Amino acid sequence: MGIIGAGQAGERHTIGFAATPDAAVVGIADVVEARATDLAERFGTKSYTDWRRLLDDGLDILVVSLPHNLHVAPAEAAAASGVHVLMEKPIATTLADGERIVAACQAGGVKLTISFVHRFRDELQAARRWIKEGRIGQAQVACEVMNSQGGSHLPGWVRQKEAAGGGVLMYGAVHGVDRLCWLLSSEVSSVTAQTRYSTADAEVEDSVVALLTFASGATATLTANAPSYWAQPAHWETQIYGSTGLVRLRTRHWAELSNDQISTRLETHTAASRLGEHYNFIRQAEEFVAAVREDREPWITGQDGLHALEVCLAIYRSAETGQMVQLANK
């Protein structure tokens, strides 16, 4: 496989595929030559400043870790060359672009997966298992809260509306949208939301609060904050209240199940030391390689990426208009 983008996400994807049996990263591309060279040298592979040259290396998989508005061209080029695509989230900044990516991969007969890598964490998988086993009955109400770090350590394009498509929602909380959809086994049918900006001339939002209604009848709040100041600790918590029980989790730390018969807690804070700091990226790489080898749909599909993007765009429309937004065909 080849990696486009040698930033934080590209580095983690490289770690994931480098640790996957019988898989090899054959090239890394980045417009910043030093960044591509540094990452390539660490993993003993080639570097490029033009991602198109990666497609001449006989790739099976292309990983796209570029600014969100630059996803279409490499996806279409890969699909036309018969190369499978792992796309960083969000799939694109517009539904039209996202649909182009999905259509190109379908036309090229290649697999497409979206990097909703939170699904591969131990605490998320435990929570999903408990819910699917009926331990909390019918899921009714959920709460998703994230506090991440904004500021100067992030790449500059993250705070540019054209490149990123939005702020904390598109860069981080899109994971929260997918987490809720996956844990509740349902798509979002309507949203009501507000956003906040740290400065008057900010291009993208630092905070968002949304009320999500799901096709299953469940409701959830999504609250995300990425202040420009150093706000610690960064954290990510989810609570799901069912008709007979409760599931709670804190990313990288623990998951809890509580009902009339049991109260249990799974500690996951040691997972990184046991499995590797970015073990979820390793699991994601292994799953996508298996999907390609077994000629099956990936666990996370292009349609999952399209729905999460549709929800994010609906959140922005609701914040702009002050109205509830109904999602298409929901």
The pLDDT mean for the chain works out to: 94
3.20.180.10, 3.20.20.80, 3.40.50.720, 3.30.930.10: CATH of 2-117: 3.40.50.720
Residue 151: the pLDDT is 59
CA–CA distances in Å: residue 54 to residues 23, 27, 60: 16, 6, 11
User: Can you tell me the distance from the alpha carbon of 170 to that of 309, in angstroms, rounded to the nearest whole number?
Assistant: 8
- Give one DSSP letter per residue of 110-174, joined into a string: --EEE--GGGGSHHHHHHHHHHHTTTT-SEEEEEEEEE---STTS-GGGG-HHHHSSSHIIIIIH
Tens of pLDDT, residue by residue over 108-135, are 999 999 999 999 999 999 999 999 999 9
Q: Determine whether 235 is exposed, middle or buried from the number of CB atoms within 10 Å of its CB (0-12, 13-18, 19+).
A: middle
Pair 78, 23: CB distance under 8 Å = no
The answer to pTM > 0.75 is: yes
Tens of pLDDT, residue by residue over 197-233, are 886 667 899 999 999 999 999 999 999 998 777 766 6
Tens of pLDDT, residue by residue over 285-327, are 999 999 999 999 999 999 999 999 999 999 999 999 999 999 9
118-267+302-326 is classed CATH 3.40.50.300: no
Q: Is a pLDDT exceeding 90 seen at residue 152?
A: no
Domain layout of the chain by residue ranges: 2-117, 118-267+302-326
When mean pLDDT is compared across 5-9, 170-174, 231-235, the lowest value belongs to 231-235
Residue 8 binned pLDDT confidence (cut-offs 50, 70, 90): very high
Residue 202: the pLDDT is 76
Mean pLDDT, range 187-192, rounded to an integer:
98
Residue 30: the pLDDT is 97
What stretches of 226-262 adopt beta strand conformation (E)? Answer: 235-242, 245-250, 254-259
Tens of pLDDT, residue by residue over 36-84, are 999 999 999 999 999 999 999 899 999 999 999 999 999 999 999 999 9
Three-state DSSP class for residue 327:
coil
